[in-house]
Copies of this chain bind each other. A is one copy, B any other.
Amino acid sequence: MSWSIESKEVNHNDFLTEESLFFLGNGYLGVRGNFEEGYQENDKTIRGTYINAFYDEVEIKYGEKLYGFPNTQQKMLNIIDSQSVQIWLDGEKFSLFQGEVLDYQRMLRMDKGYSERMVHWKSPKGREIKIWFKRLVSFVRKEVFVQEVKVEPLTEIKEISINSVLDSDVANFSDPDDPRLASAHEKLLSVKDVYEKSGCQIAIAETLETKLSVCCASRTFLDREDYEYSHKIKDKKIEESYSLSGNKNVTFTKHNIYMDSLRYNENLGDQAFNLHQGIADDRFEDFLKEQIQYLDDFWKTSDIRIEGDTKLQQGIRFNMFHLLQSVGKDSMSNISAKGLSGEGYEGHYFWDTEIYMFPVFLMTNPQIAKNLLLHRYSILDKARQRAKEMGHQKGALFPWRTITGGESSAFFPAGTAQYHINADIAYSYVQYYLVSKDEEFMKKEMAEVMFETARLWLDAGHFYKEQFRINSVTGPDEYTCIVNNNYYTNVMAKYNLLWAVKVYNRLNSDDPESLSSLMKELNLKEQEVCEWEKAAETMFLPHNEELKIDEQDDTFLTKELWDLSSTPKEKFPLLLNYHPLVLYRHQVCKQADTVLAHFLLEDFTDRETIENSYNYYEKITTHDSSLSYCVFSIMASKLGYRDKAYNYFSKTSRLDLENIHGNTKDGLHMANMGGTWMGIVYGFAGLRIKEAGIHFSPILPEEWDALEFNITYDKRLINVYLTKGKVTYTLKAGQGVNIFHQGIETSLELGIPKEKETESPIYTSY
């Protein structure tokens, strides 16, 4: 079961959640797991199809609007719906909500990349059939969503009708009962053209403000020829109808091709039509074949095997699969907070990418990782413009939430004020460089991003009594907003600045010409680089001597402690039950903040501080954010708190599968999915990426028999196999390389397993 998830019951309360869990996507296109035949009137459904980064701009309303507040917000749109297929048996419509469901099984196959739903159904009048709905969003041909419906009559049926619908009259989801979803902006796509061309049903729609176009072209096939066919266009819908005798099985196939003007410019209808020509002879099994091939390749490097815990095994595979389904692979898009699985967070990209999801791809699919960085690079100009709006003389300020670069955050204390996103992006560039050794990339894109982010810090902070300080920002913990010298922000900025200087120095010695041309382009002076260095060296990192912990910000510890133990359960998450000022004036954390900094940059502090800080902040952290558990798990691994490491990990790995946060219906928690992977690779295996090379400090959780995964590192593939008390590193591809095991350098040769002891939970200071 660990390669699939299944559902065997028709349970109304699970519909919405399953729509997210069973969604299919390929990073470009995402289709929620809605029922082809539709729902009852009273069942809530979020019927959705999305293209990554396909968006419109909507006005943000403010009770009081101040300078620099964004006027508009980007919003990922629900696009043309091609999912609908209805079956009629002698005039009785197939529905899960009438007649009798004799057998039911729904399955998502993570190894093969498709989903299937089997229903054994008896109609109110006694007609009996089995139906298999299969669907697949192709990883190989990203525009393609294929559906197959096979009907097997089990009793006498005179006529089977199959109705296929292409519906352009769609809107984004809104829920008048939930103020967070009762958006006024649900209808943002206007239909431009709906027509038929040589058996292709084509619909083209345009966004209201951004004037982007999207096209869906559908083509349907039967495996029988004894049918009557009709076709009509009405109210922005195209309906095709097949009628045929019910005396034998029939298989219906629907090819849906999606294209958008962001990637395909103009004449989308013609382009889609042409694409259809190339796949007209293919059927579901053909697409499946290449899908399996693609996924075999993926799992070969990306699978994590857990021996001894099937549920967690399933959880991690489920998470990896959905990450793959959601990640934008074309450098024109990124991974939104809910991936392509739902509309929560409006399809926006956050720091979640860099800190929680990028590492997964960095260590398994470096090309995807690079494209994520390139997407950020593509919005650098807008970040420069935003920096100006935000009163900065120089540099770039990346938006807290965005699709194509415009700041889309409507509440700046927990939005724009999170300047740390700049350092998070810079951090991911450094990580990529350390893993890929991609010098060309470093010289151009990386250098530019490092320089522009470094400049921003110089402008945002200032020197005070020989220290560099950064005031009035918000760290990752949104339960304390607008603070001075947030430890996380400052230490990440320090790293950002240090690396800007390093990149400068490297270029200066390796390729002074390209440096000089970049400096000219950016109007960058050498003096600035000296200031970066000085700022980095004198960066103020708040530390409390009494408690021997790093302070979340320079006054955090003077605030009143929140008594979590006597807070009633129903008061969580706190942000839904307390005014922000109540949270701000207490020591209480939504998520890891200083602890996260200690994970990302352990070298700027000492073990005692890390341990004390962990223990201190753990007591006041609510984990109201899904980004929290994994960090606490990783750091518990580091500190040798094995129970904690395992317990926190368990909470992350099945967060969506068990709908732990109660809002999986709005989409999957993608960052948490990345966090699961990190909990294993950075946590249990203790991976750290440093200039000197990659480090491991592994310990297998006691609950497991073995753990195995691969990582890619500088054109190599390294297999890590952990059993009780032992780890085996095997270089599976690429040239021999040195790695660090528990701080000690060790060499790997191609194909020769290297075994090491992993006894005793020790602390390793690299």
The reply to whether the CB of A156 lies closer than 8 angstroms to some CB of chain B is: no
Which residues of B have CB within 8 Å of A409? 64
The 10 A-B residue pairs with the shortest CB-CB distance, nearest first, are A63-B410, A68-B579, A61-B61, A391-B582, A472-B585, A64-B411, A472-B584, A60-B63, A462-B560, A471-B585
Interface residues of A in 401-415 (CB under 8 A from B): 409-415
Which residues of B have CB within 8 Å of A415? 64
Residue interface bits A389-423, CB-to-B below 8 A is 1, else 0: 11100000000000000000111111111000000
| CB pair B471 A579 closer than 8 Å | no
The reply to whether the CB of A576 lies closer than 8 angstroms to some CB of chain B is: yes
The reply to whether the CB of A469 lies closer than 8 angstroms to some CB of chain B is: yes
Which residues of B have CB within 8 Å of A462? 559-560
| CB pair B389 A471 closer than 8 Å | no
Residue from B69, B411, B554, B576 within 8 A of A555 (CB atoms)? B554
Residue from B390, B559, B560, B578 within 8 A of A582 (CB atoms)? B390
Which residues of B have CB within 8 Å of A558? 464, 469, 471, 484, 554
The reply to whether the CB of A449 lies closer than 8 angstroms to some CB of chain B is: no
A658 to chain B, nearest CB (A): 26
| CB pair A579 B472 closer than 8 Å | no
* Residue of A61, A69, A585 with most partner-chain B CB within 10 A: A585
A276 to chain B, nearest CB (A): 41
A662 to B264, CA, bound (A): 51
A522 to B584, CA, bound (A): 28
Which residues of B have CB within 8 Å of A64? 409-411, 414-415
| CB pair B555 A67 closer than 8 Å | no
| CB pair B575 A67 closer than 8 Å | yes
The reply to whether the CB of A65 lies closer than 8 angstroms to some CB of chain B is: yes
A222 to chain B, nearest CB (A): 49
A539 to chain B, nearest CB (A): 14
| CB pair A581 B472 closer than 8 Å | yes
Q: Given A560-B471, A584-B472, are A578 and B61 also a contact pair (CB < 8 Å)?
A: no
| CB pair A66 B179 closer than 8 Å | no
| CB pair B555 A484 closer than 8 Å | yes
A582 to B179, CA, bound (A): 31
The reply to whether the CB of A580 lies closer than 8 angstroms to some CB of chain B is: yes
A511 to chain B, nearest CB (A): 36
Interface of A is mostly: loop
The reply to whether the CB of A482 lies closer than 8 angstroms to some CB of chain B is: yes
Q: How many residues of A contact B (CB 8 A)?
A: 50
A575 to B481, CA, bound (A): 20
The reply to whether the CB of A73 lies closer than 8 angstroms to some CB of chain B is: yes
| CB pair B67 A390 closer than 8 Å | no
Given A68-B582, A471-B558, A482-B581, 20 other A-B residues pairs in contact with their CB atoms under 8 A = A61-B62, A62-B63, A62-B411, A63-B411, A64-B409, A66-B575, A67-B576, A67-B579, A68-B580, A69-B579, A390-B581, A412-B579, A413-B413, A416-B579, A460-B585, A469-B558, A472-B581, A472-B584, A484-B558, A555-B555
Residue interface bits A543-556, CB-to-B below 8 A is 1, else 0: 00000000000110
The reply to whether the CB of A277 lies closer than 8 angstroms to some CB of chain B is: no
Which residues of B have CB within 8 Å of A482? 413, 481-482, 581, 584
A interface vs B, CB < 8 Å? 60-69, 73, 179-180, 389-391, 409-417, 460, 462, 464, 469, 471-473, 481-482, 484, 554-555, 558-560, 575-582, 584-585
| CB pair B67 A577 closer than 8 Å | yes
Which residues of B have CB within 8 Å of A585? 460, 471-473
* Residue of A61, A555, A576 with most partner-chain B CB within 10 A: A555
Which residues of B have CB within 8 Å of A412? 579-581
A69 to B179, CA, bound (A): 13
* Residue of A63, A69, A471, A579 with most partner-chain B CB within 10 A: A63
A-B contact pairs, 8 of them (CB 8 A): A65-B179, A67-B576, A68-B578, A391-B578, A391-B582, A464-B558, A471-B559, A471-B560
Residue from B67, B73, B484 within 8 A of A578 (CB atoms)? B67
Which residues of B have CB within 8 Å of A391? 578-579, 581-582
* Residue of A462, A471, A578 with most partner-chain B CB within 10 A: A471
A474 to chain B, nearest CB (A): 9
A425 to chain B, nearest CB (A): 19
Which residues of B have CB within 8 Å of A464? 558-560
Q: Which residue of B lies closest to A416 (CB)?
A: B581
| CB pair A410 B179 closer than 8 Å | no
Which residues of B have CB within 8 Å of A577? 67
| CB pair A63 B61 closer than 8 Å | yes
Which residues of B have CB within 8 Å of A484? 555, 558-559
Q: Which residue of B lies closest to A471 (CB)?
A: B585
A671 to chain B, nearest CB (A): 19
A64 to chain B, nearest CB (A): 4
A435 to chain B, nearest CB (A): 34
A280 to B616, CA, bound (A): 79
Which residues of B have CB within 8 Å of A576? 67
A657 to B577, CA, bound (A): 48
Which residues of B have CB within 8 Å of A389? 579
A413 to B554, CA, bound (A): 20
Q: Which residue of B lies closest to A411 (CB)?
A: B64
A677 to chain B, nearest CB (A): 30
A110 to B324, CA, bound (A): 77
| CB pair B410 A62 closer than 8 Å | yes
Residue from B66, B414, B575 within 8 A of A580 (CB atoms)? B66
A693 to B417, CA, bound (A): 49
A64 to B460, CA, bound (A): 25
A552 to chain B, nearest CB (A): 13
Q: Which residue of B lies closest to A390 (CB)?
A: B579
A595 to chain B, nearest CB (A): 22
A454 to chain B, nearest CB (A): 18
A482 to B473, CA, bound (A): 12
Q: Which residue of B lies closest to A63 (CB)?
A: B410
A68 to B473, CA, bound (A): 23
A386 to chain B, nearest CB (A): 10
A579 to B390, CA, bound (A): 6
Q: Which residue of B lies closest to A555 (CB)?
A: B484
Q: Which residue of B lies closest to A484 (CB)?
A: B555
A266 to B68, CA, bound (A): 48
Q: Which residue of B lies closest to A66 (CB)?
A: B580
Q: Which residue of B lies closest to A553 (CB)?
A: B555
Q: Which residue of B lies closest to A460 (CB)?
A: B585
A65 to B182, CA, bound (A): 12
Q: Which residue of B lies closest to A408 (CB)?
A: B63
Which residues of B have CB within 8 Å of A559? 462, 464, 471-472, 484
